[in-house]
Chain A
Amino acid sequence: MSSTPVVSIAHLTKRYKGFAAIDDVSFTIAKGEIVGFVGLNGAGKSTTINTMLGFLHATDGSVTIFDQLVKPQTAHKTHQQIGFASGDMSLFNNLTGKQYFRFIAGRFGIRDNTRLKQLSDLFEPDVNKKIGDLSRGNKQKIALIAAFMASPELVILDEPSSGLDPLMQQNFVDLIREETTRGTTIFMSSHYLTEVIDVCSRVVLIRGGKIVKDIPASELVTDGGKMVRLVSQSVVIPPRTAELVEKKKTDDGYELTFVYKAKPAQLQQWLSGVAGLIDVSITDHDLKAAFDDLYELETGEHA
């Protein structure tokens, strides 16, 4: 993977009447990276993407894509190399899928239909009906095919698989993996954490308009750690490195649960010193829970 930055966002800020939808957002995306952009509703994901595409002008800071400074009046210069789809994308209801693809092909100067056929085989959209008569899932398939059919160097996706059924979500994940081998750079926001962890090489976390975490996706998985639950006859003091500690009295004794991310040998040593141990279970910390914990810890809001 080359480290050439395809996207460079520096101190990007967008304010609406004093309210900062995004505030001092900075990150770069190298060529070939698959970056997941994660955050709750209203966190600033769509505002960031809309500014990257030139729908919005930045109040402060800059977006540079393919060495081109992106502004509303110049954004189109980068769009020849960018595919875009969003979960709520509005297509043209009076056109059929086939007519829409023809229009997109005309805009991108596509003469070879091979890629379109491959994508159509993967998603099997209904291309002969008017788009306005299609279900949300079918519209989403058409939007995704249109985003990838020009084989763009950069694909920007905003909640791309939100309308797809589980089978098509899997096909979408397969498509992203296939694009990785082609060297396509992908920036996608998503609510599906498993999808992000599955396909992304990096995760950027946004909250309240600010970037709170920018880590390799693998780190997010390992960050999950182990969930340790034990029941003992008397109160036990958890290890110093334990996180998210919860204690409660039960009928059998005292229950202690915590997340442990340090070396397993140290956990083994600590367990050997627990007096009056009744029961113990050690499981992988659930990915979603790990993510939620991470999210809350980063912003200092965990109880």
Chain B
Amino acid sequence: MHNLFLKTLYDKRSFILGWVLGMAFIGYLMTIFFPAFHQDNGLDQLVKSLPPAFKGLVGNLDNLKEMSTYLGSQLFDVRMPIFLSVLTILLAVGLSVSEEDKGQLRTLIALPLSRTRILLTKWVVIVFICLFATLATIVGIEIGLLTIHETLDIMVLIRLGGMMLLLAVALATAIFGIGMATGKRGLTTAVGVLITVGSFLVTTFAPSVDWLKDYEKFSFLHYFPAPDIAKGTIDPVNVVVYGAITIIFLVIAVLFFRRRDVR
């Protein structure tokens, strides 16, 4: 409790516990659903009956035949980004503009702590909480695998978990950066929602809607092709994009937060 990092983590303990349990449960649940997806041939018929635009929501049915691609397509490619978006918006807004609105940021600034140090410590807390959420998901999957007596190469989970962490950190940093740079709750929340909802819609429907294809590269999720990652491919460009987004927003946040008025 003597330093800001531990104090902030302790302050967020209920949030962390809730999300760790939630993510582990989602990982567990999706894993134990695998036999149902794997054995149900009726699903093929159902998907064939869907309009083309909605097939993007389900993904490639071939991915359901293997545990690795099943998790890649059904957990990490569709659901996990949604949960991560909610996590990152709540976390980033909570640690930036919410603390400022409550006056807690002033209390910190009144201490012998530089603004840069306050900002970077909060960001490290964000990274740790994203890491906890990622690890919890992997633990949930492992427990699920034990429950249904399936095995999976741990490298698959490390690759998926690693890219999931990069996605979460990049998304959280973008929202946190806007919050710390401006101090405006409405703007920060709006941008966060716009990024996540926009990314989700573009990535989901781009395979079926021609004119959306040109905009797909602007989606956060475009750089997280979970089924491909599950098959063993991590495109270094995707890692660089998430890394660059993180660094750019962090630098912007530091530059503006050091000089602006804090309410």
B232 to A: closest C-beta gap in Å: 43
Q: What is the CA–CA distance of A144 and B39 in the complex, to the nearest angstrom?
A: 67
A104 touches B111 (CB 8 A): yes
A272 to B: closest C-beta gap in Å: 60
Binds A, one of B51-59, B187-195, B253-261: B253-261
Within 8 A of B (CB), among A29-64: 50, 53-57
A90 touches B109 (CB 8 A): no
Q: What is the CA–CA distance of A50 and B260 in the complex, to the nearest angstrom?
A: 13
Contacts of A92 in B (CB 8 A): 7, 11, 104, 107
B261 touches A90 (CB 8 A): no
Are A79 and B111 CB-contacts (below 8 A) given A102-B1, A103-B2?
yes
> Contacting B113 at CB < 8 Å: which of A55, A76, A99?
A76
A94 touches B112 (CB 8 A): no
Are A90 and B104 CB-contacts (below 8 A) given A57-B261, A103-B1?
yes
B104 touches A107 (CB 8 A): no
Are A108 and B110 CB-contacts (below 8 A) given A72-B261, A90-B102, A102-B1?
no
Q: What is the CA–CA distance of A105 and B7 in the complex, to the nearest angstrom?
A: 13
Contacts of B14 in A (CB 8 A): 94
Within 8 A of A (CB), among B215-252: none
Count contacts on A: residues with CB < 8 A to the other chain.
Answer: 31
Q: What is the CA–CA distance of A105 and B112 in the complex, to the nearest angstrom?
A: 11
* Majority secondary structure, B binding face: loop
Within 8 A of A (CB), among B35-85: none
- Name which residue of chain B comes closest to A90, CB basis: B103
A72 touches B115 (CB 8 A): yes
B16 to A: closest C-beta gap in Å: 12
Contacts of A228 in B (CB 8 A): none
A74 to B: closest C-beta gap in Å: 8
Contacts of B112 in A (CB 8 A): 76-77, 79-80, 107-108
B114 close to A (CB within 8 Å): yes
Count contacts on B: residues with CB < 8 A to the other chain.
Answer: 27
B124 close to A (CB within 8 Å): no
> Contacting A75 at CB < 8 Å: which of B10, B104, B109?
B109
- Name which residue of chain A comes closest to B261, CB basis: A56
> Contacting B114 at CB < 8 Å: which of A76, A91, A105, A108?
A76
A220 close to B (CB within 8 Å): no
Contacts of A94 in B (CB 8 A): 10-11, 13-14
Contacts of B102 in A (CB 8 A): 90
Q: What is the CA–CA distance of A9 and B25 in the complex, to the nearest angstrom?
A: 58
Are A72 and B258 CB-contacts (below 8 A) given A90-B104, A103-B1?
yes
Q: What is the CA–CA distance of A92 and B106 in the complex, to the nearest angstrom?
A: 11
Are A84 and B110 CB-contacts (below 8 A) given A89-B103, A92-B104, A102-B1?
yes
A73 touches B115 (CB 8 A): yes
Q: What is the CA–CA distance of A53 and B115 in the complex, to the nearest angstrom?
A: 12
> Contacting B262 at CB < 8 Å: which of A55, A95, A103, A105?
A55
Contacts of B262 in A (CB 8 A): 55-56, 72
A103 touches B261 (CB 8 A): no
A106 close to B (CB within 8 Å): yes
A294 to B: closest C-beta gap in Å: 32
B259 touches A107 (CB 8 A): no
A interface residues (Cβ-Cβ under 8 A, vs B): 50, 53-57, 71-73, 75-77, 79-80, 82, 84, 88-92, 94-95, 99, 102-108
A and B contact pairs by CB, cutoff 8 A, 14 listed = A53-B109, A55-B261, A71-B259, A72-B258, A72-B261, A73-B114, A73-B115, A76-B112, A76-B113, A77-B112, A103-B4, A106-B2, A107-B112, A107-B113
Q: Knowing that A94-B13, A106-B1 touch, tell me 4 more A-B residue pairs with CB under 8 angstroms.
A: A79-B112, A82-B110, A94-B11, A103-B7
